[in-house]
Amino acid sequence: MDKKIIAVISAVLFFVFMTGAKAYALGSEQKQELMEYFRSYYKNVYGESISDKDLDDKVQQSINEIETAIANGTYTSTTTSTETHVDYNYDKDKYITYVNSVDEFFEEVCYQLKDHRTVEYYDTDVELLYNNADYIFDGIENYYYKTNPMISSDYLIRFCDNSSTNCSWEERNIPGEKKYRIGITFKYAYTQEEIEEHSNKMIELSQSLKRENDLESIKAVHDYLTDEFEWKDNVEDSIAGFKYSGATCSGYSMAAFELLYNMGINARIVEGNVTVDGQEYYNTWNIVELDGKWYNIDVSWDDNGEYGTRYDWFLKSNAEFERHSYREERSDIRNMISKESYFVPEELLNSNIQVPENSTTEQVDYKDDKHNNITPGQLVRRFWYLAIYPIFGIAALIRRLIIRTKKDNDNIYKHYKDDLSAEIAAYYKSKDRSYYN
């Protein structure tokens, strides 16, 4: 390509991106006002338990989130849209649940997630739950509801924005009432309808993959995901994973759990670490029950990309699950695992299990959909000769700049501030006992 053309394209790209960044940034007065809002909110939620540094970090994280949302055009005001995917407001209705034990508390949180309630208050006399955020968050992220695994918080929490999960507590001295009130707040990444639609598709897909016995069914799920998925940074859940035909370890393990459970096979999502070049990194994988024993399975690590599927981490004991380690607090799960890896016949490993051709499930068509949902960055990486696409991106950005005026930007700021004000007001209202009694 002519050097002058390259220079012109580069100059236009630089101008558009610099102009866009300036147009979408918060003004200094707007930023300062929102910082004061957040500072007031966090100080009242966390009280004396939060240090000045942690408070400053939380405020800055919230400001960064707003600026990113405005820059990307992804912020949706809860006061102006009926298609809200991210809800910054508390629920209009108050939910108060009485719990008498730690297990009962975590079970009720599972139902809060299942019913898609943003905020719920739990009245209890269990002192362990009071002013103990680390214990509560760790419990929510790892709680497995044995009688109904699909509403387990260790699964459903992955459809939330974990950075915005909050808890609050209040010590109460009201005769006849529980001593403590614990508040749990979630921000959901998807609507309840989207999660239910995804769940229904998983049921259909699991039946298409189900085989004559559990071993072949587990392999079918393993092979399907290694074939249809690829590693994609920042894709953390199974809904986005199936949309974009790839995910991180969390998305892989969620998808495997969904499919296996809907086949009637016991499975769980577990968290731990993996060691790569002497460094430990966070990782999630699955454990699955087969013939009365539990085994480790890491689908994402068995996805060898263009080199095909491997079975290095398929139905393994802890001893043969090299480089994987359970966290100390998850020793109960580690101790469940069989002492020996499951013997899988070589002829089964070499077989290629396909999805039935006559399946009518829309979810089974993800292989076709992956080409429709591929990102521009992947197109450039895979087909460098299609690099002309940035030119169309320039046109789209310029159009966006024309449509998005400074007035629009100020309106986004105003709606965000209104939403935050409503959330703060709801918090102060929750502190007023007369509101509940």
* CATH code for position 340: 3.10.620
- The residue among 176, 192, 208 that closes a domain is 192
Question: How many Cα atoms are found within 13 Å in the side-chain-facing hemisphere of 201?
Answer: 17
**Above 80 in pLDDT, residue 59?**
yes
Is the residue at 381 inside a domain? no
The string of DSSP letters for 350-412 reads: T------TT---GGGGHHHHHHHS--HHHHHHH-GGGTTHHHHHHHHHHHHHHHS-HHHHHHH
What's the whole-number average pLDDT of the chain? 77
Host domain of residue 135: 96-192
3-state helix, strand, coil in the chain (%, to 5): 55, 15, 30
Number of helices (H), then strands (E), in the chain:
17, 9
Count CB neighbours of 4 within 10 A: 8
343-399 pLDDT, tens digit per residue, is 999 888 887 655 444 333 333 343 334 334 444 444 444 444 444 556 556 655 555
Q: Indicate whether 67 and 150 sit together in one domain.
A: no
263 has pLDDT over 60: yes
Query: Which ranges constitute the DSSP H helices of 47-91?
Result: 52-72
User: Does residue 383 fall inside a structural domain?
Assistant: no
For residue 272, is pLDDT > 60? yes
Asked if 275 and 325 count as a contact pair (C-beta separation under 8 A), the reply is: yes
Question: Higher confidence at residue 59 or residue 255?
Answer: 255
Interior angle at CA 335, CA 330 and CA 339, nearest 5: 140
Residue 315 has pLDDT above 90, yes or no: yes
Residue 151 structure tokens = 């509403």
User: Mean pLDDT, to the nearest integer, of 119-143?
Assistant: 94
Rounded CA-CA distance 186/174 in Å is 27
Q: What phi, psi does 238 have (nearest 5°)?
A: -75, -30
Written as six digits, the tokens of 70 are: 């405005």
Ranges assigned E (strand) in 238-290: 267-276, 279-290
Q: Sheet holding 180-185: strands in order across?
A: 96-98, 119-124, 180-185, 166-171
Establish if 49 belongs to a structural domain.
yes
Same domain? 236 vs 214 = yes
Residue 200 has pLDDT above 60, yes or no: yes
Is residue 108 one of the residues assigned to a domain?
A: yes
Q: CA of 212: how far to CAs of 88, 217, 260, 305, 320, in Å?
A: 47, 7, 14, 28, 27
Contact 415, 77 (CB under 8 A): yes
* Same domain for 326 and 267: yes
d(CA 332, CA 5): 63
Return d(Cα 283, Cα 298) in angstroms, integer: 9
Q: Does residue 436 lie within any of the structural domains?
A: no
Q: What percent of the chain has pLDDT over 90?
A: 50
Asked, for residue 380, whether it belongs to a domain, the answer is: no
pLDDT of 390: 62
Among candidate residues 167, 192, 217, the one where a domain is terminated: 192
Instruction: Please give the Cα distance from 426 to 354 (Å, whole number).
Output: 53
The total domain count for the chain is 3
Residues 62 and 17 in one domain: yes
Q: What are phi and psi of 123, to 5 degrees?
A: -90, 130
The answer to whether the beta carbons of residues 299 and 253 sit under 8 Å apart is yes
CA dihedral 329, 331, 336, 338 (to 10 degrees): 130
At residue 419 the predicted structure's pLDDT band, cuts being 50, 70 and 90, is low
Contact 256, 267 (CB under 8 A): yes
3-state secondary structure (DSSP) of residue 231: strand
Shared domain for 242 and 362, answered yes or no, is: yes
221, 178: one domain: no
* DSSP labels, 132-192: -HHHHHHHHHH---TT-GGG-HHHHGGGB-GGG-EEEEEE---TTS-SEEEEEE--BSS-H
72 and 198 together in one domain: no
Q: Are residues 288 and 358 in the same domain?
A: yes
- Tell me, what's the pLDDT at 331? 84
Say if residue 360 is in the same domain as residue 229: yes
Same structural domain for residues 218 and 361?
yes
* Cα dihedral 71/74/78/84 (nearest 10): 180
Question: What is residue 145's predicted lDDT score, i.e. its pLDDT?
Answer: 95
One domain, residues 214 and 278: yes
Which pTM does this prediction carry? 0.62
- 331 vs 320 pLDDT, higher one: 320
- What local confidence, expressed as pLDDT, does residue 107 receive? 96
Asked whether residue 434 is domain-assigned, the answer is: no
Q: Are residues 364 and 238 in the same domain?
A: yes
Q: Of the candidates 328, 350, 374, which is a domain's last residue? A: 374
Whether 310 has a pLDDT exceeding 80, the answer reads yes
Residue 39 pLDDT > 90, yes or no? Answer: no
379 falls within a domain: no
Q: What is the pLDDT of residues 82-130, one digit of tens each?
A: 232 233 344 444 688 999 999 999 999 999 999 999 999 999 999 999 9
Q: Do residues 256 and 302 make contact, with C-beta atoms less than 8 angstroms apart?
A: no
DSSP secondary structure, 304-337, as one string = -GGG-B--TTEEE-STTSTTEEE-GGGHHHHTTB
